[in-house]
Structure 1
Amino acid sequence: MLPQDLQCQERPTVLHVSRPVDGGVARVVTDLVRAQVAAGLRAVVAAPPGGVLHRDAAAAGAEVVAWPARRAPGPALAGERGRLARLVRRLGPDLVHTHGAKAGLAARLAVRGRIPTVHQPHTWSFESADGTASWPALGCERFTARWADRVLCVSEAERLRGAEAGVPARWAVIRNGVDLDRCAPAYREDAVRRALRRDLPALGDLPPDAPLVVCVGRLCPRKGQLSLLRAWPAVRAVVPDARLVLVGDGPDRELLHAAAPPGVRFAGTARDAVPWYRAADLVVLPSHREGMALAPLEAMACGRPVVVTDVGGARESLPPGAAPHCLVPAADPAALARAVSGLLTRPQLRGALGRRALEHMRAAYDVRHTAAAVLGLYRELLGAACPESRERVSR
């Protein structure tokens, strides 16, 4: 049912502009447009070709248009902004919702506040791992914040980081959620786990009882897999038969392959990570920066304990009392090794943490609640500026 305040025209149009086309952001956009189409909105997704977003958003009921854009700002930005402005004129959206720093920059420059705009950074670009792009990225966020009716953060930690950095935003915080039907413990879990360990790529010869750690994420500096590889020899010193599988692909693929110690396997990109969570004893995400990562939420919804680094909304996402076992400092391989080996050697604690995580996800992280909260934000913005009376972008 479409919220009452959105019924000022038959079918309001929401334009989602996203530069990430894979991973957690693609999943978030897809979940949002599915809920919005079901609620009666016209959802349009503009994103670069490639990745999974075009396909998944179309399957969720969105109209999809190509918006070629590079990952980083540069000389191409003017053309990207111009193409987006033309798309906005043609599509006539009632609200623009941007995802990621590059999409947020280009769209806000194109629209300049003439259409209600929600910017969702997902993670702050100025917190780059090497720091080389931090100041220009922060300058862009500060400058373009004037043209966002709301900056939507996925965790309170992300909002606080933006405010502390001087981003002059009108803030909203809506946590990520997961599809609790798709992400759930398997029926007859032990039998399913044995079957998955036999059938999944990279696990065909894994002993059925070998402790298995899985890391799901894009292979890139931000996700911190190199820290996990540096921690792995210390884990194997305590648990010699443990295995680690990295699920994903990305620019660090060759670097990580070269740095991998014994007991590490690479599975490549997975269309659906749920079978990997179900096969695992423990899921680890050693990120250097996040807003609120989706992979640990999905793993916990499958009843798996996680080890995560204390960045972004990770602390907020854990069940009460889990942090001493599951939360470690970023870029600290020794602490990561202690946490991972500590859980691998304590199966009863792993089981208790997994059950607690599942209850926590069911109580607070249902994607339907996330989507309803986003619709409420749209209602707030569109209620003050009915589509029929608002000025369109004319240049």
Structure 2
Amino acid sequence: MSQPVTAGVAAVVLELAVAQCSAGWAVAVVCPPGPLADRARAAGVDVREWRAVRGPGPSAVAEWVRLRALLRRLDPDVVHLHSSKAGLVGRLVLRGRRPTLFQPHLWSFQTATGLVGRLSLAWERWAARWTHQLVCVSDDELRTGRDAGVGGPAEVVCNGVDTERLHPADRGAARLRLGLPEAPTAVCVGRLAPLKGQDQLLAAWPAVRAAVPGARLVLVGDGPMGRRWRSGCADPSVRWWGHADAVADFYAAADVVVVPSRAEGMALVPLEAMACGRSVVAFDVSGVRQGVGDAGAVLPAGDVPALAAAVARRLADPALARREGALGRRRVELLFDRRQVAEQVATVVEKIAPGGGR
């Protein structure tokens, strides 16, 4: 069960659902209409529509009613809740009466402020009693929850990526397909939103251009800040690509992939870039250091000058970027392959509901 239905959370849900169906489990994805539902159906997964908005609010009452009816019809052995909204409504419906996994994909209290933030923290502490198994995507995410007083049984199952679909590819050919020039190129993939921090990368970019005059930046994604950020950036070296469903060519076209996020659980973009053999420069937010290791530069969160220097160094030194990219590919193959993740999640499900799903 998931809300949201796009980006990293949806990708994780889809990968797990497909893997579990392939293992012979009876799986249903419960989510609002959107890309996740469409792709799950196309992959042969049973999808049940649950209309729900992304944030908390008065609509939660109607969402609770709809979900309760849905779960009564499905009668599942185990329920796996992904992200804060599904975790909220799902646990209010279930209240511990069925084996329940909750996977926050970034704690709600890390992004909310003021009263909403305090209520989110209080809720997560309370709802732990209705969570048979907490699944965190990084050691940092679990540590943050424990430090905040969220108890209960917990496992860390890091995110994974498809290392067969995502693999090193010819940089020049990818640029030709995308119509990008032959120039030192940084790529940033993600929703254009404050949490993803593209404004921090844009603040660093003039210093990158001063050090590497021919450098180009490609921003792949769209979102609520897109119009404002685009209107404030007149630099012709910045390409605002917009949304793209297939991102492998963008990784292949890059010399370095930049992840300037303000917060994450464990971001998929660094892992995808590493699977494609590309160096990563990222801020040290939850899960990044555990993911990237020595396959790039992990910098103090929010340090814009350090970000500029690290990106410029790799654009000016392609050999360094290639070495880090090769290290990243090996690291993903060993630690972050999607098949390993599916096996780990299956083990967790079997632990709380033996035979559940089969």
Q: Shorter-chain TM-score: which interval?
A: over 0.9
State how 1:150-299 maps to structure 2 within 5 Å: 150-186=133-169, 189=170, 193-200=171-178, 204=179, 206-208=180-182, 210-262=183-235, 263-299=237-273
State how 1:107-126 maps to structure 2 within 5 Å: 107-126=90-109
- In structure 2, how many angstroms separate the alpha carbons of the residues matched to 1:260 and 1:132? 34
1:86 is aligned to 2:60: no
1:381 is aligned to 2:352: yes
State how 1:88-107 maps to structure 2 within 5 Å: 88-107=71-90
Per mean C-alpha deviation after superposition, the further-off stretch among 143-152 and 56-65 is: 56-65
Q: CA deviation at 1:136?
A: 1.7
Q: CA deviation at 1:129?
A: 6.8
Structure 1 130/246 Cα, relative in aligned 2: closer, same or farther at 3 Å? farther
8 A contact 1:129–1:222 mirrored in 2? no
Alignment deviations for residues 92-143 of structure 1 (CA, whole Å, 9 cap, x no partner): 1111001110110000000111110000001111111756632121122112
Q: What 5-or-longer segments of structure 2 have no aligned partner?
A: none
Alignment deviations for residues 52-107 of structure 1 (CA, whole Å, 9 cap, x no partner): 10111122331111111111111111111111111000111111001110110000
- In structure 2, how many angstroms separate the alpha carbons of the residues matched to 1:260 and 1:246? 12
Structure 1 131/278 Cα, relative in aligned 2: closer, same or farther at 3 Å? farther
Alignment correspondent of 2:29:
45
Q: What 5-or-longer segments of structure 1 have no aligned partner?
A: 1-16, 389-395
- In structure 1, how many angstroms separate the alpha carbons of the residues matched to 2:300 and 2:62? 40
Alignment deviations for residues 323-378 of structure 1 (CA, whole Å, 9 cap, x no partner): xx511122221121111111111111111101111111111111000000100111
Structure 1 354/329 Cα, relative in aligned 2: closer, same or farther at 3 Å? same
Q: Secondary structure at the match of 2:344?
A: helix
RMSD value over aligned CA atoms?
1.6
8 A contact 1:229–1:261 mirrored in 2? no
8 A contact 1:183–1:302 mirrored in 2? yes
8 A contact 2:78–2:356 mirrored in 1? no
Alignment correspondent of 2:6:
22
- In structure 2, how many angstroms separate the alpha carbons of the residues matched to 1:58 and 1:353? 38
State how 1:343-382 maps to structure 2 within 5 Å: 343-382=314-353
1:36 is aligned to 2:10: no
Quick one: which amino acid aligns to residue 365 of structure 1? F
Number of aligned positions between the proteins: 357
TM-score normalised over the length of structure 2:
0.96
- In structure 2, how many angstroms separate the alpha carbons of the residues matched to 1:149 and 1:27? 24
Q: CA deviation at 1:29?
A: 0.6
Q: CA deviation at 1:387?
A: 8.7
Q: Secondary structure at the match of 2:27?
A: strand
Quick one: which amino acid aligns to residue 279 of structure 1? A
Identity %: 48
8 A contact 2:10–2:36 mirrored in 1? yes
Alignment correspondent of 2:302:
331
- In structure 2, how many angstroms separate the alpha carbons of the residues matched to 1:49 and 1:256? 28
8 A contact 1:216–1:248 mirrored in 2? yes
1:70 is aligned to 2:53: yes
Structure 1 387/314 Cα, relative in aligned 2: closer, same or farther at 3 Å? closer
- In structure 2, how many angstroms separate the alpha carbons of the residues matched to 1:387 and 1:362? 28
Quick one: which amino acid aligns to residue 364 of structure 1? L
Structure 1 174/39 Cα, relative in aligned 2: closer, same or farther at 3 Å? same
8 A contact 1:47–1:54 mirrored in 2? yes
Alignment deviations for residues 30-52 of structure 1 (CA, whole Å, 9 cap, x no partner): 110111001111111111112x1
TM-score normalised over the length of structure 1:
0.87
Structure 1 386/181 Cα, relative in aligned 2: closer, same or farther at 3 Å? closer
State how 1:132-147 maps to structure 2 within 5 Å: 133-147=116-130
Per mean C-alpha deviation after superposition, the further-off stretch among 127-136 and 171-180 is: 127-136
Q: Secondary structure at the match of 1:283?
A: strand
1:59 is aligned to 2:42: yes
Q: Secondary structure at the match of 2:134?
A: strand
8 A contact 2:68–2:93 mirrored in 1? yes
